[in-house]
Amino acid sequence: KNEVEQSPQNLTAQEGEFITINCSYSVGISALHWLQQHPGGGIVSLFMLSSGKKKHGRLIATINIQEKHSSLHITASHPRDSAVYICAVVYGGSQGNLIFGKGTKLSVKP
């Protein structure tokens, strides 16, 4: 079974800091999602990537398929970035093969 491990589980940062959240998985995948869950509970898809790197504003996601590892970086963090960040991997050909990590809870202090 594919396991998805995220680290750290919890992260507290000061406003302006550079943040890295890591995701590791155990078997081959076709793609990886990064999601953001707001304190109110809503979930938003940030990135879907299968190779290389993607950037959107202050967010950068990278993936190394050979090392089975992905990172989400936040530059110049802001209190509004406080949320739970979830990694999810797509493996196999079935629509149902999406395994989620438990999430990383980020708190950015002003």
Partner 1 sequence: NAGVTQTPKFQVLKTGQSMTLQCAQDMNHNSMYWYRQDPGMGLRLIYYSASEGTTDKGEVPNGYNVSRLNKREFSLRLESAAPSQTSVYFCASKILTVEKLFFGSGTQLSVL
What minimum distance in Å lies between the beta carbon of 13 and partner 1? 23
- Please tell me whether residue 30 binds partner 1 under the rule CB under 8 A: yes
The dihedral through the CA atoms of 21, 22, 23, 29 has a sign that is positive
Give how many residues touch partner 1 by CB under 8 A: 25
For residues 39 and 96, give the distance between their C-alpha atoms in angstroms, rounded to a whole number: 27
- Please tell me whether residue 110 binds partner 1 under the rule CB under 8 A: no
What minimum distance in Å lies between the beta carbon of 101 and partner 1? 6
For residues 78 and 94, give the distance between their C-alpha atoms in angstroms, rounded to a whole number: 38
How many Å is the Cα radius of gyration of the chain?
A: 13
Strand 10-14, strand 104-109: pairing: parallel
- Please tell me whether residue 109 binds partner 1 under the rule CB under 8 A: no
Largest Cα–Cα distance in the chain? 44
Binding-site string for partner 1 from residue 36 to residue 75, where x marks contact by CB under 8 A and - marks none: -----xxxxx--x-x-------------------------
Residues in contact with partner 1 by the rule CB under 8 A: 4, 30-31, 33, 35, 41-45, 48, 50, 86, 88, 90, 93-96, 98-103
